[in-house]
Structure 1
Amino acid sequence: MEQEKCTDVVIIGGGLGGTAAALAAAKAGQRVLLTEETDWLGGQLTSQAVPPDEHRWIEQSGCTASYREFRSRVRDYYRRNYPLTESARCNPILNPGNGWVSRLTHEPKVALAVLHEMLAPYVNTGRIEVLYHTVPVHVDTAGDRVTGVTVQEGRTGGLIKLRGAYYLDATECSDLLPLAGVEHVSGAESRRETGEPHALEEADPLDMQSITHVAAVDYVHDGNFTISRPREYDYWRQYVPSFSSYPILSWYASDANDTSKLKEFTMFPNEQGVVSLWDYRRIVDPELWSEPLNDGEVTLLNWALNDYYAGPLIGVSPEERQQHLDSARQLTLSLVYWLQTEAPRLDGGRGYPGVRLRGDVLGTDDGLAKAPYIRESRRIRGLYTVTEQDVSKELRGAKGAKRYKDSVGVGSYHLDLHPTTVSQRTFYIPNHPYEIPLGSLIPVRMKNLLPACKNISMTQIANGCYRLHPTEWNIGEASGTLAAYAIANQVEPTAVRETDEHLQSYQAQLIRQGVQLHWTDAELEGEC
C-alpha cells in the first residue's frame, strides 16, 4: 500500500544543490521533504568525493554567505577535532589536504558532518524530513502543474507519494523532467540552434560530458596492496582516446592550457619538473598534524585517466545505463591496478604496489565513492538560456562580464568540458565571471517545478562552468528561496521575474540572506 506525505516543498535529490535548496526553504519558514538516492547528503562534496572546484576570489567574494559558512565550518571542524600543528591551527585559510585543485581539499566525511550540523536545527525540529535510499519513479501532473511525485525506497521497495506546493529537481541526471513531461534538452546542441562557436554542427543528445567514479587511496612505502586484475583491465589498458596517441592509462592527457596538445604527468612530486597528480586532489596531509593518525597521505583518483566517456547515462536503456555505470567503476579499478603494477616511474621502474584503496574514507567497502561524479544532466528549457556567448572572455570581448537585471547569484570558472561520449570533444575556454539569471531557473511551461542543481536552462558548453560546487549551491539556494517566496506571496515564479515589485522583493530576500547578486566593478577590473 502506497504511503502519502504532504509538505510545502518537495526536493528530489540530496546533492549539493538539493541540500542548499532545503536549507534555504526551511530558513524561509517552509516545511521540506528531501530525498536522497544514497545514505549521504551532499553529492559532489560527499558521496561523489569531489573536493570543491572554485574560483580564485572564493575566500572573499563570489559565493553565497551560506556556502562561505560551509567552508568556514569545514576549517573549524578540523581545528576542533584534529590535532593540528600550531601553524595549521592559526592559518585562516587552512587547506586540510594541501591539494592544489582547491583551497579547501578535505575529507568527504568532514563535509558530511558539516552539512548535518547546518541542517540540524531544521531536521531535529521536523521542518526538514530526509528520505534516504529513495528515487523518483512516477510524477502526477494536471495541466502545467505537478501534483505529486512517487518515490521508491531502495531497500524495501516501498512506494511513497510526496505532495507539496512546489517540486524541485535536484537529482544528478534531472530525472523528474522526463517523468513530468517538462521540456528539456540533453547532450550537445547544434551551432545552428545556439550560435556557439564550439557547438557541434548537428545536435547530438547522446554526446555528454564524461563521468568519473572516484576512488580514495593512500600509499604505504614497501607495502603491497595489489588488487585482483579487473575484468576489463585489458580493454582499458589498450584503449586510446581519439584525441590522443597514448592509451587512457598512461601519464599523458590533454593540456588544460591547450586541449589540442598533450601534457605529461607523473605520480609523485619530483625534482624533474613533471607535474604530479598525487597532490592534485590530496585530502589528507599528516604534515598538518601534531601527532600521527594515519599511515600517510590520502588522495582522490579523479584524473583524466579515469574519465569515462564510452557512453552516456541519459537517453539509453536501463540495461545500457547500468553497463556504463559498471564500466566506469571498472575503469577506475583498472587505473588502481595499473598504478600498482605497470605505471612508469621516473626512476625507470614500474608500478607502485603500495597504493592502497581506502574505502573507510568514502564510507564504502571497495574504496570507490558511493556514487559517480556526473558532470552533466538534463537541462530545462527555460525563459532564458545561458550560452557560451554569455560567458566566454573571447566572445564577450570589450563588453566584459554580462550582467542580468534578474540575477540570483554569481560564479566564475572556465568553460571546462571534459571529453564527451560521442565526439570526445574537450576544451577549457577562459571565462568572465558570470551571473545566474532567474530566467534560467524557470521552465517555459511547468509552473511549480524548478531546477535546483546543474539542470538550469543553459547549453552544454555553459554547463562547463555552471556545474561547479559554488554555483550549484547558489542555484539550489536561489530555487529553494524562490519556492518559499512563491508560496508566501501566492505568486508564480514567472510573475516574480516579470513583475518589478516581486523581482525586487525576491532579490532583496536573497541579499538579506547573503546572496551576492552582482560582481562589483572593482572585482571585474581585477580579473581583466
Structure 2
Amino acid sequence: MIKKLLLIILICGIAPVYGQTIKTDVVVIGGGASGVAAAIQAARSKVKTLLIEPGPWLGGSLTAGGNCIVEANRNLPSGIWGEFRRHVRDFYKKEPGYDTALNAALKFEPYTGSAILKKITDTVKRLTVKTKTPWTAIKKNGDGWEVTITEDGKPVIVKASVVIDATETGDVAAKAGVKFDVGFESNKTTGEALAPNEASPLIQEITWIAILKDYGRAADRTIPKPEGYNAADYACLKSKDIKKMLADGRLPNDKYMIKWGECANSFPVTMEQLEPEQRDAFYKKAKLKTLGLIYYMETELGLKNLSLDFQEFGTPDKLPYIPYMREARRAKGLIRMSLNDIYTPYDNASKLYRTSIAVGDASPGQHYAAGSNAPKTNYPPMPGYSIPMGAVVIKELDNLLVTEKAMSTTHLTNASTFYPSVQMTLGQGAGTIAAYCAFFKTTTKNLQVRKIQTELLDYKGYLMPFVDIDPKDVYFRSIQQVGATGMLRGVQKVNGKTSAVYFLPDSAVKTSEIKPIMLDLYTRSFLWYNKNKPGELFTVGNLLSFISEMTLADPENLEHKMKAAWKTTYKFTSDFDTKRPVTRREFAVLTNKFINPFARMVDITGRFVN
C-alpha cells in the first residue's frame, strides 16, 4: 500500500512538469513585424493572447534582420505601425541631423527598434510574450488548436481558439497541412497582365544585412578573412559609388545598414533551401557571403575603419539573427490578392477593397541572381492599396491565419506586401480577426467583415490608403468608412516613379460616381433618382433631399437644422448653399452620419449582402 501511495505521489509530482498546458484565446507564432502587431491588437481587443518567438528579439526583419531603414507606408501611419514610428522618432528627435519630417523614411538602430517593441508589448494587458521559445508541433483540436512549445527543455502544450502563423516562411501553416504556391504564377492563372506566360518556381534573393559602425578614420577594424573568401566575387563594387551607397544606408550614431544587391550581400535561394532541414546550412553560406563583403570593403576599398558593431547583436559573428527575406511560400487563402486589386480595385468583379484590414504602398523590388532567367516585370508606379481580409484566412482550416510571406497573394503582389511596415499594418488586421473569432467563440467561416473593420478603426487602423486625410482629422473615420463602400473612390495620382491615392476632400461629388452604389444600397434610391434627376455634379440640396427620402425626415426641418449646424457642429469651412456642388468631405461626413452606408454588410469578396 505504501509503495502504491509513493507511486501516485511521484506521478502527480512529475505530471505538471511534463504535461503542462497553457490555455489562451489567441496564440501568435513569430515575433516579426506582423506577429508583434497581431499580438498587441488581439490583446487590446480584450482576448487573452500569447506571442511565441523562437529568437531573442521582437521585430523580425525590422530588427533581428537589420532592415532598419523603412521607406514604405511613410504616408500611411496606420494604427500600430504609426505608434511604433512615433516611438522611434521620439527616441531620436534630439539626435543631431535626425530627420523627423512627416513622411521621412524611418531610420533606427536594430537593438533600439526591438527594445521599443518590447516596451510597447510590456504595457499591453492580456498579452504574454515568450522569446527564446521554439515551437515543435501543431494539431487541430475541435474548433481550436494545440501548439507544442519548448520551455526549459520540456514540452508545453498551448491550447488556443485561434493560431496566427507569423513566421517568415509559413512553417506553422506547412506543418498544419496547408497547401502553398511558390514562385511566379502564369498570367492565365492570376489574370495579371504583368505576369509571365509560364509559371516559374523562382523566388527573390535573401540578403544577410550587416550593420557597420564607423570607428574613426585612423582605426583599423579589419575582420578576419572569412572562410572561402574570393575577392573576385565582389569585383562589381569597383565601379559603384560606394560613398553614395553608404550615405543611403546611414543610421544614427555613425552606423550604416549594408543591404546591397548584385555582387554584394544578396544571395539566391530556393524554397527547398528554406525548409527547416536545410535552412541552417544555407544560412551559413549566406552569412559567409556578407562577411566576405565586409572584408572586401575593408581590404580592397580602403574602408578598414568600418566594421561590425560588436554591441548591436548578440550573435557570435555579430551579424543579424536572421536574413532579410523577401519571399517564401504563399498559402492558399479564402481569396488571393493580385495586382488587379492594387491597380484597378474598383473595376474588378469582386470588390475586395471593401474587406480591407490593412494598407500598403511599398514599391516592389526584383532581386534575382544574374543568369537566373527570372522574368523581368515592368511595374507601373505602385499606388497605395488595401489588403483584403480573405488573404490572411486559410481556406481549408478554420481559425488559422497567415501573415508575412505566407499570406495569400500572387508572386507579383508579394513583392510589395512582404515589406515590414506593410506587414505591421497587416498584423494588426489579423489580430483583429483573431480576437473577433475568440471573443465571439466563432470560426473564420463566420467572419462579419464590418464588425471586424469597426474594431480596427477603433484602434486607429486604416482601411483605405488615402494620403491626404490626416488620421487626427475629426472626420478621418467617416471618410474611411464611406471610402470602404466604394461610394467615393480614391484617386490615383502618379508623380514620376511614385504614386499615391488621394481622397480629394474639397473636390465636387460627381453623380455618376455615387449613383451606382446608392442604387445598390438603398431600395428607394431608384425612385428618388427618377424624381429628382440630379445633374452632373451632386449638390448640397440633392444630398439633403436624398437623406430626407431615406430617413423620412421633414425636408424643410432638415434643411433648417443643417444650416444652423453647418459651421458650428460640422465645422465645414464653406458657406451653406443648397445650390452649389457638395464636396467629397461634406458628402462623406453627412452620408456617414445620417444614412450610414458602411452599416451594410459585405461578404468576404466585398459583395453587399442583406
For Structure 1 versus Structure 2, the TM-score category normalised by the shorter chain is 0.7 to 0.9
Where do residues 55-454 of structure 1 align in structure 2 (5 Å cutoff)? 55=72, 58=74, 61-79=75-93, 84-85=95-96, 92-93=100-101, 103-122=105-124, 127-141=126-140, 147-153=145-151, 156-205=152-201, 207-219=202-214, 220-234=216-230, 237-239=231-233, 248-251=234-237, 265-268=240-243, 276-285=244-253, 297-304=254-261, 305-314=263-272, 318=276, 320-343=278-301, 351-392=302-343, 404-419=353-368, 423-424=373-374, 429=379, 430-454=381-405
Does structure 1 residue 518 correspond to structure 2 residue 464? yes
| Aligned 8 A contact 2:56 2:131 in 1 | yes
| Aligned 8 A contact 1:452 1:476 in 2 | yes
* Cα distance change on mapping 1:299 and 1:75 into 2, 3 Å: same
One-letter amino acid of the structure 1 residue matched with residue 29 of structure 2: I
CA shift at 1:138, angstroms? 1.5
| Aligned 8 A contact 2:213 2:306 in 1 | yes
DSSP 3-state at the match of 1:328: helix
CA shift at 1:299, angstroms? 0.2
Residues 55-76 of structure 1 show CA distances to partners (whole Å, capped at 9, x for unaligned) of: 4x72xx4232221111111111
One-letter amino acid of the structure 1 residue matched with residue 227 of structure 2: R
- Taking the aligned partners of 1:151 and 1:426, their CA distance within structure 2 comes to 42
* Cα distance change on mapping 1:71 and 1:128 into 2, 3 Å: same
Regions of 4+ moved over 6 Å: 395-399
One-letter amino acid of the structure 1 residue matched with residue 119 of structure 2: E
| Aligned 8 A contact 1:217 1:301 in 2 | yes
* Cα distance change on mapping 1:10 and 1:428 into 2, 3 Å: farther
- Taking the aligned partners of 1:238 and 1:199, their CA distance within structure 2 comes to 35
| Aligned 8 A contact 1:41 1:47 in 2 | yes
| Aligned 8 A contact 2:265 2:293 in 1 | no
> Which segment drifts farther, 302-311 or 165-174?
302-311
Where do residues 35-74 of structure 1 align in structure 2 (5 Å cutoff)? 35-55=52-72, 58=74, 61-74=75-88
> Which segment drifts farther, 133-142 or 10-19?
133-142
DSSP 3-state at the match of 1:279: helix
DSSP 3-state at the match of 1:300: strand
| Aligned 8 A contact 1:312 1:321 in 2 | no
Bigger RCO of structures 1 and 2 (CA < 8 A, at least 6 apart): 1
CA shift at 1:408, angstroms? 1.2
- Taking the aligned partners of 1:2 and 1:313, their CA distance within structure 2 comes to 35
2:438 aligned residue (462, 487, 512): 487
One-letter amino acid of the structure 2 residue matched with residue 43 of structure 1: G
More helix by share: 2
* Cα distance change on mapping 1:232 and 1:201 into 2, 3 Å: farther
One-letter amino acid of the structure 2 residue matched with residue 67 of structure 1: W
Residues 200-245 of structure 1 show CA distances to partners (whole Å, capped at 9, x for unaligned) of: 544344x2211111111123313222222211222xx445xxxxxx
| Aligned 8 A contact 1:35 1:134 in 2 | yes
Number of the residue aligned with 2:558? none
2:429 aligned residue (461, 478, 489): 478
| TM norm structure 1 | 0.78
Aligned length: 451
| Aligned 8 A contact 1:54 1:469 in 2 | no
- Taking the aligned partners of 2:330 and 2:196, their CA distance within structure 1 comes to 17
DSSP 3-state at the match of 1:48: coil
- Taking the aligned partners of 1:67 and 1:318, their CA distance within structure 2 comes to 30
DSSP 3-state at the match of 1:416: coil
For the aligned residue pairs, the C-alpha RMSD in angstroms reads 2.8
DSSP 3-state at the match of 1:362: coil
CA shift at 1:364, angstroms? 3.4
DSSP 3-state at the match of 2:246: coil
| Aligned 8 A contact 1:189 1:200 in 2 | yes
One-letter amino acid of the structure 2 residue matched with residue 450 of structure 1: L
| Aligned 8 A contact 2:30 2:54 in 1 | yes
CA shift at 1:428, angstroms? 6.5
| Aligned 8 A contact 1:419 1:426 in 2 | no
Number of the residue aligned with 2:607? none
Number of the residue aligned with 1:258? none
- Taking the aligned partners of 2:177 and 2:134, their CA distance within structure 1 comes to 17
| Aligned 8 A contact 1:17 1:452 in 2 | yes
CA shift at 1:316, angstroms? 6.1
One-letter amino acid of the structure 1 residue matched with residue 285 of structure 2: S
DSSP 3-state at the match of 1:250: helix
- Taking the aligned partners of 2:466 and 2:304, their CA distance within structure 1 comes to 51
One-letter amino acid of the structure 2 residue matched with residue 211 of structure 1: I
Number of the residue aligned with 1:11? 28
| Aligned 8 A contact 1:416 1:428 in 2 | no
| TM norm structure 2 | 0.68
DSSP 3-state at the match of 1:360: coil
Number of the residue aligned with 1:465? 416
CA shift at 1:418, angstroms? 1.7
One-letter amino acid of the structure 1 residue matched with residue 101 of structure 2: I
- Taking the aligned partners of 1:66 and 1:508, their CA distance within structure 2 comes to 16
- Taking the aligned partners of 2:300 and 2:280, their CA distance within structure 1 comes to 29
More strand by share: 1
Q: Between Structure 1 and Structure 2, whose CA radius of gyration is higher?
A: 2
Does structure 1 residue 527 correspond to structure 2 residue 493? yes
CA shift at 1:321, angstroms? 2.6
* Cα distance change on mapping 1:177 and 1:418 into 2, 3 Å: same
CA shift at 1:142, angstroms? 5.1
- Taking the aligned partners of 1:336 and 1:452, their CA distance within structure 2 comes to 33
1:29 aligned residue (31, 40, 46): 46
- Taking the aligned partners of 1:224 and 1:139, their CA distance within structure 2 comes to 50
- Taking the aligned partners of 2:24 and 2:252, their CA distance within structure 1 comes to 40
| Aligned 8 A contact 1:94 1:104 in 2 | no
Number of the residue aligned with 2:588? none
One-letter amino acid of the structure 2 residue matched with residue 177 of structure 1: A
> Which segment drifts farther, 456-465 or 354-363?
354-363
CA shift at 1:309, angstroms? 3.3
* Cα distance change on mapping 1:161 and 1:315 into 2, 3 Å: farther
DSSP 3-state at the match of 2:147: strand
Number of the residue aligned with 1:259? none
> Which segment drifts farther, 476-485 or 127-136?
127-136
* Cα distance change on mapping 1:397 and 1:16 into 2, 3 Å: closer
Residues 455-487 of structure 1 show CA distances to partners (whole Å, capped at 9, x for unaligned) of: 211012101111112210111101111111122
- Taking the aligned partners of 1:28 and 1:38, their CA distance within structure 2 comes to 26
- Taking the aligned partners of 2:267 and 2:107, their CA distance within structure 1 comes to 26
CA shift at 1:489, angstroms? 2.2
- Taking the aligned partners of 2:326 and 2:24, their CA distance within structure 1 comes to 30
- Taking the aligned partners of 2:205 and 2:292, their CA distance within structure 1 comes to 17
Number of the residue aligned with 2:571? none
